[in-house]
Amino acid sequence: MSADRSDADDAVTSPRIDGLAALAATPRRVEVRRLAQAMREIIEHLTSTTATTEELSAAADDLEGLAALLGSLPAGQQYQGFAEAAMAGGAVDPDDAERWAFFDHSPFIGLANPMSPPMTLRYERDRVVCDVAFGSAYEGPPGCVHGGYVAAAFDELLGAAQSLSGTQGMTAHLVVDYRRPTPLHTPLRLEGWLDRREGRKIWARGTIVADGELRAEAEALFIAFDPGRFAELLAARDT
């Protein structure tokens, strides 16, 4: 946790930030993240390559071989505790950090997911901030981030910010105002903060800035988890 947060806030944290940061850099996790990073680079190169047909064919052969190799290996989740982690509030226990391992597979903050940009979240006082640059795979309008990815990035950011309410919630409503195009390959600064809470309803707000200009802003409503409904979703996923 960043040192500039007040002592009063220390017990109210975001699992997306502290949980991911607490994961041990085991040899296996290091290699999974390295593989994911290599796949990100492949995706980036593929979107802009001028390779010949023969070169592309050779590369496709190599990747098909790798896909076949990975497909032949044992499959299954390498992490446990999803339900317990998602329902938990309060500070992350470093001795129980592995229950947060699913965040490493997030499509936006997961270092082990090749589709993740990835977004890097941290605290600054009472806000959650993020530094990220979206590559060519996320293009919508020429040279700009697709609006759907902008919205999804807000969902991830504000999902972390709403955790500062002391509980966890699921997105019920997300509104994005697109002020200016959000550029690709450009450092973006995202800021999210807890707006208010009324019972199970939690509101959070956020902004995206690039080159000193506001590009988009959002407001989201989250509903604190219903333990029974969440258990049903978990059971359905595992069938």
Domain annotation covers residue 202 = yes
Where residue 125 sits, what CATH number does that domain have? 3.10.129.10
Mean per-residue pLDDT, 83-111? 65
Cis-peptide, bond into residue 114, ω within 30° of zero? no
One-letter identity of residue 13: T
90 has a pLDDT exceeding 60: no
**Which whole-number Å values give the CA distances from 226 to 105, 143, 232, in the listed order?**
24, 41, 10
How many CB atoms neighbour CB 10 within 10 A? Answer: 10
Cα(113)–Cα(128) distance, rounded to whole angstroms?
22
pLDDT at position 42 is 95
Q: What is the pLDDT of residue 137?
A: 93
Q: Count CB atoms within 10 A of the CB of residue 172.
A: 12
pLDDT for residue 236: 73
What was the pLDDT predicted at 38? 96
Confidence at residue 56, expressed as pLDDT on a 0 to 100 scale: 96
Residue 94 lies in a domain: yes
Q: What is the total count of domains within the chain?
A: 1
pLDDT at 234: 58
Domain hosting residue 130, numbered range: 7-23+78-237
Helical (H) or strand (E) element with 209 = strand 201-210
65 contacts: CB under 8 Å, gap ≥ 6: none
- Is residue 106 one of the residues assigned to a domain? yes
């989740």: which residue's tokens? 77
Q: Is residue 38 part of a domain?
A: no
Percent of the chain with pLDDT over 70: 79
Most confident range, picked from 52-61, 96-105, 227-236: 52-61
pTM of the model: 0.81
d(CA 190, CA 215): 10
Statement: residue 171 has pLDDT above 60: yes
What rounded mean pLDDT belongs to the chain?
85
State yes or no: pLDDT of 80 exceeds 90. Answer: no
pLDDT class for 84, splitting at 50, 70, 90? very low
Q: Look at residue 28 and tell me if it is in a domain.
A: no
Q: Is residue 61 included in any domain, yes or no?
A: no
Is residue 41 assigned to a domain? no
User: Tens digits of per-residue pLDDT, 200-235?
Assistant: 999 999 999 999 999 999 999 999 976 666 667 656
Q: Which residues contact 182 (CB under 8 A, 6 or more apart)?
A: 134, 144, 145, 150, 188, 208, 210, 215, 216
Q: Is the pLDDT of residue 99 over 70?
A: no
**Is residue 102 included in any domain, yes or no?**
yes
DSSP 138-152: GBSSTTBB-HHHHHH
